[in-house]
Homo-oligomer: A and B are copies of this chain.
Amino acid sequence: MKRITIEDIARECNVSKSTVSRVLNNSPHVKSSTRKKVLEVMKKYNYTPNILARGLIAKKIGALGVIVSDITNPFHSLLVRGIGDICRTYGYSLFLCNTDGRVDEEIKHVRSLIQRSVDGIIFASIKLKDEGLEEAKKSGIPILLVGRLPEKEEGFNYVIVDNELGGYMAVNYLISLGHRKIAYLSGPWDTWPNIRRFEGYKRALEEAGLSIDKKYIFKGDFTLDTAYSIGTKILMMRDRPTSVFCANDMSAIGLLEACMELGVKVPEEMSIIGFDDIPLSSFRTIQLTTVSQSIYDQGALAGKILLEKLQNEDNTPTQLTLPPKLIIRKTCAPPKEV
């Protein structure tokens, strides 16, 4: 079926296509009777302008790209949902790119987004050194980072929550319950969220006058299965910690599973606190105490900031650090021995 073009509309109205274009763009210099007629004909033929033709001149297409490692990850799907909803209200479309954490894929996606003249790119899972990010920066397309930061964060727009503070709050909460033996189950070690959360962990311990004990630091990778197997090890060690701050909720849930498997009662015999507050954490059977990132809101805010910036052609970087929130549910309690 042939698409209706601006020329078809113009012919039908006995005007030139520039006049139709003016109506399309709400130019004030159109006689109201002409405008009315044009609008009528447009409606009659159900006409919508071709965005590609428009974009060719404007060098933008009313679309953002969002780059995540894996949309299947509930953190990312919530974030993308937030971004997507905002895009919709601004009339923008959204390209979804999964990288699987691979730099080459990320670069490919970035190039393809640039080729498509997207108006902006949101990076949700950059690494500390990120070539894809560099590539995008060179292109001059507005960029915004959510959730995590690269090594050199200067000049970038970003929306994050204060991960250090979140870690601090989590561990402080455990300390306030009376815990002294507090373990840390990490995420991928050289990763921004892990580094920041671990710093919060250390600060809380230091302020409480507790020493950081290497035997209580466990290297995980944010996945359930790894956390499960590390969890079984933690539970079987001789001077077992009374509580574990897990670098993310998935890890916490893996640990929780290990506890169930080994008959260790949570929270009576083991307190567990996570980070992120993914939907799963609030399940009745899990009820994980955790630090909330307000993921959906973070995504929505990120989208909003970038889109506003595009509309106002504002090039000054907006850098937003949101406060985390402690969500107390049922996996933490005072330690038994105290």
By a beta-carbon cutoff of 8 Å, the part of chain A in contact with chain B is: 1, 3, 48-53, 55-56, 59, 61, 63, 70-72, 74, 77-78, 80-81, 84-85, 88, 91, 93-98, 105, 108-109, 111-117, 138-140, 224, 228, 253, 256-257, 260-261, 279-280, 283-285
B contact residues around A84 at 8 Å (CB): 71, 96-98
B48, B94, B117, B285: the one contacting A257 at CB < 8 Å is B285
Q: Report yes or no: A95 in contact with B93, Cβ–Cβ below 8 A.
A: yes
B contact residues around A224 at 8 Å (CB): 283
Q: Report yes or no: A116 in contact with B72, Cβ–Cβ below 8 A.
A: no
Q: Report yes or no: B138 in contact with A1, Cβ–Cβ below 8 A.
A: yes
Tell which of A49, A63, A284 has the most Cβ of chain B within 10 Å: A284
B contact residues around A95 at 8 Å (CB): 63, 93-96
Task: State in angstroms the CA–CA spacing of A260 and B58 once bound together.
Answer: 59
B contact residues around A112 at 8 Å (CB): 91, 93
Closest to A70 in B: B81
Closest to A59 in B: B3
Q: Report yes or no: B228 in contact with A284, Cβ–Cβ below 8 A.
A: yes
Known: A78-B72, A81-B72. A111 touches B56 (CB 8 A): no
Q: Report yes or no: A50 in contact with B284, Cβ–Cβ below 8 A.
A: no
Measured CB to CB, the closest approach of chain B to A73, in angstroms, equals: 8
Q: Report yes or no: A93 in contact with B116, Cβ–Cβ below 8 A.
A: yes
B contact residues around A93 at 8 Å (CB): 95, 97, 112-113, 116
Q: Report yes or no: A51 in contact with B115, Cβ–Cβ below 8 A.
A: yes
Closest to A257 in B: B284
Measured CB to CB, the closest approach of chain B to A78, in angstroms, equals: 6
Task: State in angstroms the CA–CA spacing of A96 and B71 once bound together.
Answer: 11
Q: Report yes or no: A81 in contact with B88, Cβ–Cβ below 8 A.
A: no
Measured CB to CB, the closest approach of chain B to A106, in angstroms, equals: 11
10 A-B pairs with least C-beta separation: A96-B96, A1-B140, A257-B284, A77-B77, A52-B55, A52-B56, A51-B115, A52-B52, A48-B115, A72-B81
* Sample of 9 A–B contacts (CB below 8 Å): A48-B115, A53-B56, A72-B77, A72-B81, A72-B279, A80-B96, A93-B113, A94-B97, A257-B285
Q: Report yes or no: A72 in contact with B70, Cβ–Cβ below 8 A.
A: no
Measured CB to CB, the closest approach of chain B to A259, in angstroms, equals: 10
B48, B59, B88: the one contacting A114 at CB < 8 Å is B48
Q: Report yes or no: A71 in contact with B80, Cβ–Cβ below 8 A.
A: yes
Closest to A254 in B: B284
Q: Report yes or no: B85 in contact with A77, Cβ–Cβ below 8 A.
A: no
Task: State in angstroms the CA–CA spacing of A108 and B74 once bound together.
Answer: 26
Task: State in angstroms the CA–CA spacing of A70 and B78 once bound together.
Answer: 10
Task: State in angstroms the CA–CA spacing of A280 and B73 once bound together.
Answer: 11
Known: A70-B81, A98-B81. A51 touches B285 (CB 8 A): no
Closest to A279 in B: B72
B contact residues around A52 at 8 Å (CB): 52, 55-56, 61, 116-117
Measured CB to CB, the closest approach of chain B to A45, in angstroms, equals: 13
Task: State in angstroms the CA–CA spacing of A284 and B109 once bound together.
Answer: 35
B contact residues around A111 at 8 Å (CB): 48
